[in-house]
Structure formats: C-alpha cells, structure tokens
Chain A
Amino acid sequence: MSASPPAFSARHVVAYAYRRSVGPVLGRFFTELRDRRIVGNRTAAGRVLCPPMEHDPETGVATAPDFVPLGPGGVVTTWSWVSAPRAKHPCAHPFAWALIRLDGADTAILHVLDAGSESRVRSGMRVRPRWRAETRGEIQDIECFEPEERA
C-alpha cells in the first residue's frame, strides 16, 4: 500500500424530481392556489386546518368534506431568519421561513416571508401573499408572504 494515499475530492449531486399524488384534499388546496385562493378544511371539532388535511392530526378522525376560504392575509406565529440563502432557496436575498396563521384558520402554514430585513420581522406581524405571475397548482404559486405594512 502507498504510505499516504492522495486525497480525492469530487462534487456529488443527488437530485431527482419526485412526483407525488396529492389526493382529494391537498388536490383541492393546490387547485385553489392555481386560482389564487387559499382554502382550509374543518375538523369534526370545528377547528380550521390550513393546509387542509384528510384527518384531524389530533384525533385521527376524518375531516369534513367542505372547504373554507381563508386569508389571504394572516399572522406570523413564529419564524427563522435565513441570513445566507443557499442556491436552491426560494430567495436569493436574506428572508425568513415563517409559520403563518391565515385569517380564519386555527393552524399555521410554513412559507417564505420576504420582509427585507430581520429587524422588520416579529411574531404577530400581519402578512399577505405575493402571487406568482403564472400559477401552476403548487405551493410555489405563492411566491412568498410579505408584510402588510409598507416599510
């Protein structure tokens, strides 16, 4: 064996496009997003879930068949600032991942908050969606959320 083998280095890329069926509930959610509307659904106990789910995550009981229009504005419940976005992040500039409880919902949805600077972000702040120019029926139809108040 050689005394000290050379160091070998290589760029590795692990990538694939994974297509998943969404079923009737999330399917409806994405279909509404394509028309720039946000919907949730109701548990047997009357809580409004957004994103909608097929079952109540607390009880496992099936949710009601009808959907509830929500938002489009909402409130940031918690957030995490990304000061150095990576290549595949949705923003090239610093942004926040935020949990956003839309008006009319009891649960929060994870999305991008484009607030310009970290000092503008706080839990409880009002935000609204910024829609992508051409929607396709996927979560990225909402480009991001942005503060309702102008900077």
Chain B
Amino acid sequence: MSDRGPVKSIVTPTHLEYEYTATGAQAEFLHQIGQGRLKGQRCGECGKVTCPPSGACARCGVPTSEWVDVSDRGTITTFCIVRVPSENIELKLPYCAANILLDGADVPFIALLQECETSEVRIGMRVQAVWRPREQWQPSFENIRWFKPSGEPDVPVEQLGDWV
C-alpha cells in the first residue's frame, strides 16, 4: 500500500458533444421566441397544448400542427431545491429548478427560478419569465434568463389537475 491512503472514490468524466439542428416545430418555436413570443402546438386528438412543441403530442403520439399563443406567465407544479454544487453550474446555492405550467399550455416544462428565497417556493406559486434585453435576443430559449415570482395569488393545488 502507498502512503497516500486507500482510494475511496474515482471521477468518471461524462462528455458528449453534438450538433443539434432544430427542424419543423422546434425551428418555428425558436424563430418565434427570437421575436419575444412563446408559441405552443395543440394536439388534434386530445386538445392539449405543448410548449416548447416537439411537433408531436407526447400523450397521443400524433403529429401536431395547430399553433397557439402561450403566455410567459405560469404556475409552479413541482420543484426541486438544489443544494449540491456541480461543475459548469455557476448559480449560487441553494437554487430552485421548477416545473412550470405556462398559461395557455397543458404540459409543464422545467426552468430556473430566481429572485426568490428557496424557502418561499411552493406548488401553485405564480411566476413570470424574466427576459434578456431585447437587443440580446436570439432564436434561443436563453432569451428567458429565468422565471421569478409574479406576485399574483397562488393557484389552488386542486386546480393543477394531473400535475401534482
């Protein structure tokens, strides 16, 4: 044995680089968010709106083509307080990642919540997007820096349906 002591852990680097090309619904979504608009697609089968859209309904598996406006305000359906540091993430700990159901959409998506104490985050809390300055807008979801509390009254949990 070496005088360096027994090995207790190893680092396994995980690394994947790829070129992502947005097509169809994703490209149109990026084009629209580049203009400061959030758009979703409604499923012709179940009527649910997905935003960001993938071009197909995740529930029904059918292609989607009907575009609808989606608000940049929404409701937290669930959340996670992150207290463990990670490489490449420069956020101050603890921070909150929340599933947000945007007004006009029926499927939540995960986003960063800031400008709020993590102890105040709750299911049903109303939030709004914080956009980057217009001159920095690109065809990218990063136009929204994060979400913050909007100050509106909470949505009762029973109104969040399947998402809680």
Question: Interface residues of A: mostly helix, strand, loop or mixed?
Answer: mixed
Shortest distance from the beta carbon of A88 to any chain B beta carbon, whole Å: 5
Q: Which residues of A contact B87 (CB under 8 A)?
A: 16-17
Set A5, A14, A30: member contacting B31, Cβ < 8 A: A5
Shortest distance from the beta carbon of B24 to any chain A beta carbon, whole Å: 8
Choose among A10, A87, A88 the residue with the greatest number of B CB atoms under 10 Å from its CB: A10
User: Is A137 touching B7 in the complex (CB atoms < 8 A)?
Assistant: yes
Interface presence of B11 (CB below 8 A):
yes
- Interface 1/0s, chain B 2-19, versus A by CB < 8 A? 101011111111111111
Q: How many residue pairs at the A-B interface have CB separations less than 8 Å? A: 101
Contacts A17-B87, A18-B11; is A31 near B17 (CB within 8 Å)?
Answer: no
- Interface 1/0s, chain A 113-142, versus B by CB < 8 A? 000000000000000000000000111000
Q: Which residues of A contact B22 (CB under 8 A)?
A: 7-9
User: Is A12 touching B7 in the complex (CB atoms < 8 A)?
Assistant: no
Which B1-51 residues have C-beta < 8 A from chain A? 1-2, 4, 6-23, 26-28, 30-31
User: Is A7 touching B8 in the complex (CB atoms < 8 A)?
Assistant: no
Set B8, B10, B12, B17: member contacting A11, Cβ < 8 A: B17
User: Is B7 touching A27 in the complex (CB atoms < 8 A)?
Assistant: yes
User: Is B7 touching A88 in the complex (CB atoms < 8 A)?
Assistant: no
CA distance A29 to B27 in the complex (A): 50
Select from chain B the residue with minimum beta-carbon distance to A86: B17
* Size of A's binding interface in residues, CB under 8 A: 31
CA distance A139 to B16 in the complex (A): 20
Select from chain B the residue with minimum beta-carbon distance to A138: B10
Contacts A1-B67, A20-B9, A27-B8; is A13 near B14 (CB within 8 Å)?
Answer: no
Set B2, B30, B67: member contacting A35, Cβ < 8 A: B2
User: Is A16 touching B11 in the complex (CB atoms < 8 A)?
Assistant: no
Interface presence of B139 (CB below 8 A):
yes
Which B111-160 residues have C-beta < 8 A from chain A? 139-140
User: Is B14 touching A22 in the complex (CB atoms < 8 A)?
Assistant: no
User: Is B12 touching A14 in the complex (CB atoms < 8 A)?
Assistant: no
The 3 lowest CB-CB distance pairs between A and B, nearest first, are A137-B7, A30-B7, A5-B27
> Which residues does B use to contact A, with CB under 8 Å?
1-2, 4, 6-23, 26-28, 30-31, 67, 86-88, 139-140
A-B contact list, 16 entries, CB within 8 Å: A6-B31, A7-B23, A8-B31, A10-B19, A13-B16, A15-B13, A16-B14, A16-B86, A19-B11, A20-B12, A28-B6, A30-B7, A31-B2, A35-B1, A35-B2, A137-B4
